[in-house]
Each structure stands twice: as structure tokens, then as C-alpha cells.
């Protein structure tokens, strides 16, 4: 999926393990986050982002959601605010399909919902 001028990368473009100079921002809702997310990611639901812009990590930020649409909107907002942000095209669904590591806040295996 293309998001126009929004900088996007696919999961295969992201080194494993994540480089130390790349932070992850997950903009999904709380329930989605609890079921599975990238370890070390910062969680700020998209609707809360304007009020929590100070909580966004400094430096390059990989922004993720379930498929890439919400994160694309977040990238637009973050870039307008001066952040170096890039969208994960395919989102957490592609991340999980690529068998990249995830953690969760529940018992049992991580999942994407």
C-alpha cells in the first residue's frame, strides 16, 4: 500500500535486531497493544498523540499500527511537528507474518488483533 509522500518502509527493510538509533512508536489502541507489540516500543494511541507529543522519542522513529494507515497519519503529524518519522507499511500484521519478535501484556503468545 502506498501513502504518497509519507516516508514508509516495509518490514524487510528493518534490520533485525532493531538498530539502537531507531525508536518505535505504536499508535494502536490499548487492547491491540496489550495483545502484541514490538519490545521497547513507546505506546501512544493516535487519538492521544497531539497531547503527548513530548512523549515521542527523539531521533528517528518507526511508527506502527495494525496495517499502516493510522501510522501514516501519525507520521504526517510528527513530521509537521519536526520529528524524523517513518511509517511501517503493512504494520504489525506484516511484522507478525515475518515472525519478527513481539511481546505482550497478557498470558500466552503475542497476537495481532
pLDDT at 41: 98
The answer to whether residue 109 is domain-embedded is no
pLDDT tens readout for residues 54-93: 999 999 999 999 999 999 999 999 999 999 999 999 999 9
Q: Residue 103: is its pLDDT beyond 70?
A: yes
Range of the domain at 26: 8-97
Per-residue burial over 7-16, b if 16 or more Cβ lie within 10 Å, else e, is: ebeebeebee
The answer to whether residue 60 is domain-embedded is yes
The answer to whether residue 108 is domain-embedded is no
pTM of the model: 0.95
Instruction: Note whether 70 and 27 are within 8 A (CB).
Output: yes
**Looking at the 3D structure of the chain, how many domains does it have?**
1
Amino acid at each position: 500500500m502506498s501513502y504518497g509522500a509519507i516516508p514508509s518502509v516495509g518490514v524487510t527493510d528493518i534490520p533485525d535486531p532493531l538498530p539502537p538509533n531507531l525508536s518505535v512508536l505504536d499508535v494502536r489502541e490499548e487492547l491491540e497493544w496489550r495483545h502484541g507489540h514490538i519490545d521497547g516500543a513507546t505506546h501512544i494511541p493516535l487519538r492521544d498523540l497531539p497531547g503527548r507529543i513530548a512523549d515521542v522519542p527523539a531521533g528517528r522513529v518507526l511508527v506502527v499500527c495494525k496495517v499502516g494507515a493510522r501510522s501514516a497519519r501519525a507520521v504526517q503529524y510528527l513530521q509537521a511537528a519536526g520529528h524524523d518519522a517513518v511509517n511501517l507499511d503493512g504494520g504489525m500484521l506484516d511484522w507478525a507474518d515475518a515472525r519478527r519478535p513481539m511481546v505482550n501484556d497478557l498470558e500466552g503468545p503475542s497476537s495481532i488483533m
